[in-house]
Structure 1
């Protein structure tokens, strides 16, 4: 049953994360394929440019909801239906679901393994798992963004804060026999995933060509 619970969590979360909100929203709302219009990119920015704020907002909300839904569904089915709990901790399966829904979002099997960077999705999965840790990571993001004016810098340091505060809070604050090490390892993997997807941003930061928040995009 434990293996079945892990397989379900991994497969469901990855496939659910692979669903592209922009394509689905535009098909349902406009009866069109967003990949045929504008920049032909199935992303939030192209939806906003082609169809306006309504479909763009729906796309954003669907993307954000993916993390929450994956975590909640997996925790309910694994714990309530299968009766499985790993490491004596009800949160671990949420971290596992969070990791694989992000992998699906960033490398979607339905769309050539080309997706987003998963920063907002990481926030919503963490919100569903551990709201206090999520708040700490968001504070780090906001502070670094305010200081540097770089969204990428805020995102990178927030991703580092993810496993850091997971370890600190679960080890020294909650003290409820949480699976501190396995949960922290999941957080580290998510951190590595986010940072690796920001490699181009890191290169631009080093070259001094990264765009600051609110700044018009620089010409290549």
Structure 2
């Protein structure tokens, strides 16, 4: 029963918490506009930066950082401390589950017609709370690819591929924790979800119409 309650709480809480889209809320409060009506029509950090500038983008970043970390921390505290449940002798798994569903909420928010962002930043912030070392490696891949190509989308896709690659390496040989297979499967699901959400970017890259980082896109 406690296992069922743990899973149900993690899935429902994380999804609803993720549905509180930071980009949409920040732009409505600061600019009285819906970010989905401008730029790439994406309710994510990159589009906020391109359309409304550094101030709203910084506020969105801070809110998303808090949302990803809080979702994981709250679920781990409730499941481990209140329900007394751990999966695979490792409290990381419930973090990955929370991370996946907070991403789903961010991408398909029930409060905003199931139209949200791509989930890259949320994936990164949840990983900060779950596995900081894997997060550091994945962010390094993103930064290197972004510097080399100037495409945020390419950096994001490469980081999404690196995420499930670094997860078993770090957890087997550095952290030496339990539940590596289950954690790697969850990391793979998160990475595939990020790549899936970049389908329009992949098409624009193939067509040569994808915006480079720092370029302005007309609203």
Instruction: Say yes or no: does 1:179 pair with 2:179.
Output: yes
Following the alignment from structure 1 to structure 2, what is the Cα–Cα distance between the partners of residues 127 and 12? 19
Following the alignment from structure 1 to structure 2, what is the Cα–Cα distance between the partners of residues 192 and 132? 20
What is the CA RMSD across the aligned residues, in angstroms? 2.6
1:149: Cα distance to partner?
Answer: 1.7
1:105: Cα distance to partner?
Answer: 0.2
User: Is the contact between residue 14 and residue 71 of structure 2 (CA under 8 Å) also seen in structure 1?
Assistant: yes
Following the alignment from structure 2 to structure 1, what is the Cα–Cα distance between the partners of residues 86 and 48? 42
Instruction: Say yes or no: does 1:20 pair with 2:8.
Output: no
Q: Taking structure 1 as the reference length, what is the TM-score of the superposition?
A: 0.87
1:132: Cα distance to partner?
Answer: 0.3
After superposition, residues 71-110 of structure 1 pair within 5 angstroms as: 71-110=72-111
After superposition, residues 50-129 of structure 1 pair within 5 angstroms as: 53-129=54-130
1:34: Cα distance to partner?
Answer: 2.9
What is the aligned residue count? 214
> Unaligned 5+ residue runs, structure 2?
none
Following the alignment from structure 1 to structure 2, what is the Cα–Cα distance between the partners of residues 98 and 10? 9
After superposition, residues 117-156 of structure 1 pair within 5 angstroms as: 117-156=118-157
Q: Taking structure 2 as the reference length, what is the TM-score of the superposition?
A: 0.87
Following the alignment from structure 1 to structure 2, what is the Cα–Cα distance between the partners of residues 210 and 46? 17
> Unaligned 5+ residue runs, structure 1?
none
Relative to structure 1, the CA distance from residue 142 to residue 53 in structure 2 (aligned partners, 3 Å threshold; closer, same or farther) is closer
User: Is the contact between residue 51 and residue 216 of structure 2 (CA under 8 Å) also seen in structure 1?
Assistant: no
Q: Which of the two has higher C-alpha Rg?
A: 1
Following the alignment from structure 1 to structure 2, what is the Cα–Cα distance between the partners of residues 110 and 73? 21
Tell me which of the two structures has the higher relative contact order, counting C-alpha pairs closer than 8 angstroms and 6 or more residues apart.
2
Alignment partner, residue 34 of structure 2: 35
